[in-house]
């Protein structure tokens, strides 16, 4: 049921997605070209043009080239703007994790989501991000207040999953109840299924899979395959929180396996990237 609900949800928000302006331009481009051709015939009196001379071809080609150039600039500009905003946000989040308390990270999230106010369900993404920020700094109570600040009940599974994985993160980072954390993470992962591939869904699932992997490490049920998957996520993710969480899980796994060298490498990296996030520096018993 979750798959169908999620599919309907994504179909309903497609017109409001970040790539909507680019897609709209691509749909309009053929009509713009037709309008250009029609205007050409109107200017020439409706005559079917004879084979143009080199000079005419050059002039017409330049005009058509200008239209295509404008279209290309708009299309590339839209994609470039989206890419740059994402890169800028990641840099700010990375810098905020160096701050001695959570305030800098919360401020970055407010800025990021304020600029995305037209994005569907932005309030839920904001609440989820703020909750994870508090959890990384060891404040379970504030994290849960953030999750409780919005009503998740009426949203589709893919949105409600953020509340489940948020609670899983709180439990694993701030409390010693790994079995419950793993159960919550698995529940959340099951809620982000789709009947067919959705652009960006693999990246969206990454954090859920990371939390499942961490839960398995903490409960002592991790397998070589699940540890390898956690390692892949750690190497490939572009999301700061996902990298920190996966690095923490791998450090715990290395320490418990007696791999002191590997554990020390990850300890130093976590100390460098998130020096004040106490939960990310502990090895649960």
% of the chain residues with pLDDT over 70:
68
What is the Rg, in whole angstroms, of the alpha carbon atoms belonging to the chain?
Answer: 25
| Backbone φ and ψ of 28, nearest 5° | -80, -20
The pLDDT of residue 19 is above 60: no
pLDDT category of residue 79 using cuts at 50, 70 and 90: very low
Query: What is the spatial distance between Cα 168 and Cα 177, in angstroms, rounded to a whole number?
Result: 10
Domain boundaries defined on the chain? 19-42+60-96, 109-285
What mean pLDDT is predicted for residues 25-38?
47
Tokens in use for 184?
Answer: 């919550």
Question: What phi-psi label fits residue 176: left (phi over 0), alpha (psi between -120 and 50 degrees) or beta?
Answer: beta
pLDDT reading at 114 higher than 90:
no
pLDDT greater than 60 at residue 62: no
Q: Which of 26-40, 134-148, 175-189, 234-248 has the lowest mean pLDDT?
A: 26-40
Give the predicted TM-score (pTM) of the model: 0.74
Q: Which of 14-28, 45-59, 70-84, 130-144: highest mean pLDDT?
A: 130-144
pLDDT for 157-208, tens place per residue?
999 999 999 999 999 999 989 999 999 999 999 998 865 555 455 667 899 9
C-alpha 19/C-alpha 9 separation (Å) is 17
Residue 1 has a pLDDT of: 52
At residue 45 the predicted structure's pLDDT band, cuts being 50, 70 and 90, is low
User: What is the reported pLDDT for 201?
Assistant: 54
| Residue 52: predicted pLDDT | 52
Least confident of 188-202, 231-245, 249-263: 188-202
């Amino acid at each position: 049921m979750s798959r169908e609900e999620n599919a309907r949800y994504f179909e309903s928000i497609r017109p409001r997605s970040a790539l909507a302006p680019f897609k709209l331009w691509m749909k309009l481009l053929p009509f713009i070209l037709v309008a250009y051709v029609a205007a050409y015939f109107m200017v020439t009196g409706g005559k079917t043009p004879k084979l143009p001379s080199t000079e005419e071809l050059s002039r017409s080609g330049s005009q058509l080239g200008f239209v295509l150039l404008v279209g290309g600039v708009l299309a590339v500009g839209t994609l470039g703007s989206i890419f740059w905003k994402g890169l800028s946000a990641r840099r700010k989040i990375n810098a905020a994790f160096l701050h001695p308390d959570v305030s800098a990270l919360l401020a970055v999230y407010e800025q990021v989501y304020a600029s995305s106010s037209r994005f569907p369900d932005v309030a839920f993404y904001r609440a989820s991000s703020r909750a994870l920020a508090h959890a990384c700094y060891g404040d379970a109570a504030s994290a849960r207040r953030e999750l409780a600040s919005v009503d998740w009940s009426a949203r589709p599974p893919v949105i409600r999953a953020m509340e489940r994985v948020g609670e899983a993160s709180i439990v694993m980072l701030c409390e010693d109840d790994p079995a419950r954390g793993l159960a919550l993470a698995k529940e959340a992962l099951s809620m982000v299924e789709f009947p067919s591939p959705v652009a960006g869904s693999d990246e969206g699932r990454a954090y859920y899979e990371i939390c499942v992997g961490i839960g398995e490490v903490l409960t002592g049920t991790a397998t070589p395959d699940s540890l390898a998957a956690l390692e892949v996520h750690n190497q490939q993710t572009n999301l700061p929180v996902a990298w920190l969480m996966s690095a923490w899980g791998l450090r715990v796994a290395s320490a418990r396996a007696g791999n002191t060298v590997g554990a020390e490498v990850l300890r130093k990296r976590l100390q460098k990237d998130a020096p004040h996030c106490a939960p990310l520096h502990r090895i649960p018993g």
